[in-house]
Structure 1
């Protein structure tokens, strides 16, 4: 049974933090974007398609999508060791898998598209902020896409399903329910498909269904903000 829980910032359970998005933030990149959930800020830069070197990595049937996620050392209060970590390597991989379904990679054989995601400020939900920024940046680069990828971090805190967890909520331990469950979701609104679903913690099937339903609803709002950011850059 869920415990009574009040979000520290006063949000409703299905309410996201303030969202900001902007396309074309890096002049020298082929495409770029900023996306933020509250105090979590991601910057994405896209370069390519371009020739892939060394040559043995080339695929004659398609383009390689290479994503690099990096949480900068000054993005958190605690001193972070610079360089790639096991976590950043894993997030880089799943980010690529979340974005691949909307790209026409077979149109650019033997090439690479590099997506660099930098987290300049972190307060949870950074992988989802990064995916949202990368999706806008890919569109800003003029790459053919079937649709935008949207992402949001769901969670179960003190037995309650919440949208867009903050760091305080990720770390919360209830009186009886000590474990918080983190559920990053990437969603394709037009085709109604999920391109990323991760689960860290325990959850019942009915609760997971509830979380996915709430994630889809939140992602529709995120999609509107992404599209508006791209519209502004064209004006």
Structure 2
């Protein structure tokens, strides 16, 4: 076991339920686990937990497309709910291009049509890009519009996640007062 004496280790396990998709091919779960781990390592304040391990378990029950960004957004909510200190939210969104028209939040059909796909994860307070992953080729003329659309999607997701966290916190405060 790799133990770090000055900070916590982040462990990510990604699994797709066998019944989640009609396809029987093996998904690239190790690649997705690694991408998610690399996305959260600079964001979680691991130095506050020396000689510890933070486990993130992600299970896809229904594959409708957008696995990576859905897992990143769900992990962000779970880590905040668990009370782990982070420097910022991590918000992810995917955009692509169909017939040279940029689209956001691709579904399974759009993903499997060999259309270009770009996943972006940002830290909304600073605007830093924490993950940029392309699944297929995207013409350079379309890259900027697709990347901007994905970033706008991340900003929209941030607004939703932040509101959910604030509502949950208000609900917990009401329960504590009772």
Q: 1:120-135 to 2 correspondence within 5 Å?
A: 120-135=61-76
**1:63 correspondence with 2:4:** no
Q: Deviations over 1:168-218 (max 9, x none)?
A: 11233xxxxxx4111111111111111111112222334222112111111
Matched residues in 1 for 2:63 and 2:134: separation?
Answer: 20
Task: Kindly indicate which of the two structures has a greater share of residues assigned to helix.
Answer: 2
Matched residues in 2 for 1:118 and 1:98: separation?
Answer: 18
Cα offset, 1:62, TM superposition = 1.3
Cα offset, 1:220, TM superposition = 1.0
Aligned pair partner of 1:220 in 132, 135, 155: 155
Q: Deviations over 1:112-157 (max 9, x none)?
A: 0000011111111011101000001000011111111001111122
Q: Deviations over 1:74-133 (max 9, x none)?
A: 11134x47xxx5600100000111122221111211110000011111111011101000
1:110 corresponds in structure 2 to 51
Matched residues in 1 for 2:149 and 2:27: separation?
Answer: 30
Higher relative contact order (CA 8 A, sep 6+): 1
1:92 corresponds in structure 2 to 33
1:189–1:216 contact (8 Å) kept in structure 2: no
**1:198 correspondence with 2:136:** no
2:39–2:130 contact (8 Å) kept in structure 1: yes
Q: Deviations over 1:43-80 (max 9, x none)?
A: xxxxxxxxxxx4xx1011211111111111111134x4
Task: Kindly indicate which of the two structures has a greater share of residues assigned to strand.
Answer: 1
Give runs of ≥4 in structure 1 deviating > 6 Å: none
Cα offset, 1:231, TM superposition = 2.1
Matched residues in 2 for 1:164 and 1:217: separation?
Answer: 11
Structure 1 segments unaligned to the other structure (5+ residues)? 1-53, 173-178
Matched residues in 2 for 1:187 and 1:207: separation?
Answer: 20
Matched residues in 2 for 1:206 and 1:65: separation?
Answer: 37
Please provide the CA RMSD for this pair. 1.6
1:6 corresponds in structure 2 to none
Question: What SS does structure 2 have at the residue aligned with 1:101?
Answer: coil
1:155 corresponds in structure 2 to 96
Question: What SS does structure 2 have at the residue aligned with 1:102?
Answer: coil
Normalization by structure 1: what TM-score? 0.68
Matched residues in 2 for 1:231 and 1:118: separation?
Answer: 25
2:100–2:142 contact (8 Å) kept in structure 1: no
Aligned pair partner of 1:210 in 134, 142, 145: 145
